[in-house]
Amino acid sequence: MTPANRRPADPSVIAAIHHPLRRRLIDLLGVEGPATASQLAGRTGELVGNISHHLKVLAVAGVIEEAPELAKDRRERWWRSARSSWTWSVADAGGEPARELIATVSEERNVTYHADKVRQWFEARHEYGEEWVRAAFATDSWLTLTPERLTELSDRIRDLIQEYYEDPSDDSSAVPVYVFAHGVPARP
């Protein structure tokens, strides 16, 4: 069963999420909290009109939502993460070539995105203290599983990550940490 905060994604949602600027906006809203288009333009170096366009695309996809209670007046529009994670598989495309292409390209972009976050850490870790360098981790294992047990492992990992997401560290030494995992059938 899919938890309430994880929803199956249709092709329009997948395409919305995996545009590079939109992915960055999702990250900024998720990590730094609600913001206006002007604030996001300042953080990304993009034009306000461009940011507004991409925010609307993300809102239509249900990935972000307006936060009207933060606005000082009717002209000001604040946006926040919708706090949902999306799941998809090429298998969901049902053999439809266009849907398969969107899912495949998005999977490839996702892997590149994950690898880029690790590379960014490699380049910036000298800026962190030894405790962060020791705490950062990578792990991999060869397991022998059925599809059902791989699904179980996936659900358990997602649930564990969700636990930490819902109970963030409030210590002054806490910083955003990017965590990802892949479990795929492979050959040595």
For the chain, give the secondary structure using H, E and C.
CCCCCEEECCHHHHHHHCCHHHHHHHHHHHHHCCEEHHHHHHHHCCCHHHHHHHHHHHHHHCCEEECHHHCCCCCCCEEEECCCEEECCHHHHCCCHHHHHHHHHHHHHHHHHHHHHHHHHHHHHHHCCHHHHHHCCCCCCCCCCCHHHHHHHHHHHHHHHHHHHHCCCCCCCCCCCCCCCCCCCCCC
According to the model, what pLDDT value does residue 15 have?
84
Q: What is the pLDDT of residue 1?
A: 39
Query: Which amino acid would we find at residue 42?
Result: G
Instruction: Specify the pLDDT at position 174.
Output: 95
> To which residue do tokens 């933060």 refer?
70
Q: What is the pLDDT along the chain (188 residues), one digit of tens a residue?
A: 344 444 566 778 888 888 999 999 999 999 999 999 999 999 999 999 999 999 999 999 999 999 999 999 988 999 999 876 777 788 888 888 988 898 899 889 989 999 999 999 999 999 999 999 999 999 999 999 999 999 999 999 999 998 998 899 999 999 999 999 989 998 88
Tokens of 132: 């962060």
pLDDT at residue 8, rounded to an integer:
63
Per-residue pLDDT, 136: 95
How far is it, in rounded angstroms, from Cα 77 to Cα 37?
8
Q: What is the pLDDT of residue 3?
A: 43
Say what the pLDDT of residue 7 is. 55
